[in-house]
Amino acid sequence: MIPEIYHSTLADLAGPKNTKPLSDKDKTKKLYHTRQLPIPLPSPRVAIVGSRKASPKGTEAAYQISQYLAEHHILVASGLAEGIDTTAHKAAIEAKGQTLAVLATPLDQTYPQKNYGLQQVIIQNHLAVSQFPPNTPIRPENFLLRNQTLAQLTHTSIIIEAQPQSGTLNHARHTLKLNHPLYIYQPLNQNQPWTKPLLAAGATLFEDPKEILEKLPRNTTTNGLTSSL
């Protein structure tokens, strides 16, 4: 059962650094949450995204990178999808860090259903938002809308691995459109057909998350919002 639901605008939660590139319509986008959240959200915030059908190497990379960032007080954000998203959230929690779930469902629904327990942990002890009011039907287009919102709420995005024509690459395009840094994990993606166009558009290959950490904005408080599974 979902407790009382609050709402804030995307501009309020994103903060000044992320608000500037937004259209007036996006600035006033309503995001729902189950408790009063910090305004703006704790920063810096890094989105870690990738394939739902993650490879063993992709899963390992997602865990290690998310863990490293969380241990250095970076808020790890993702979309609660199966695969890389799930691994990123869990790694941040297990590292005693903080994670943000930007949902493609309303707060009173879960997809995939196997992530119900993880979603509840994030709602209760971390940060979760949805642009869909309660009882909204789950539609395919909602996942693409979620990708845009995830990009708008974060300062930087990391692709661990992806398939052509995937939601991950949709998120990547939103990130670049906002002029936010986009990093691609080189060991798994250097020879992928989708990598070259993203690099031409401004993305960067990386191997070590230290490269990303050094370029992030300064930390702000996470207001003690930490927990573990």
Q: What is the pLDDT of residues 99-158, one digit of tens each?
A: 999 999 999 999 999 999 999 999 999 999 999 999 999 999 999 999 999 999 999 999
pLDDT of residue 143: 97
Strand pairing report for 156-159 and 30-33: unpaired
pTM of the model: 0.94
Q: What is the DSSP letter of 52?
A: S
CB of 19 closer than 8 Å to CB of 8: no
CA gap 42, 185 in Å, rounded: 25
Chain segment 170-222, per-residue pLDDT in tens? 999 999 999 999 999 999 999 999 999 999 999 999 999 999 999 987 765 44
What is the rounded average pLDDT for all residues in the chain?
Answer: 93
Torsion, Cα of 79, 184, 13, 135 (10° steps): -20
Residue 106 corresponds to which amino acid?
A: P
The dihedrals phi and psi of 154, each to the nearest 5 degrees, come to: -115, 160
Which pLDDT value is given to residue 33?
Answer: 96
Q: Answer whether residue 7 shows pLDDT above 80.
A: yes
What the chain holds in terms of domains, given with CATH numbers, is: 42-129+137-213 (3.40.50.450)
Nearest to 39 by CA among 4, 5, 73, 14: 14
Q: What span, in angstroms and rounded, lies between the C-alpha atoms of 100 and 44?
A: 12
Q: 130 near 177, Cβ under 8 Å?
A: no
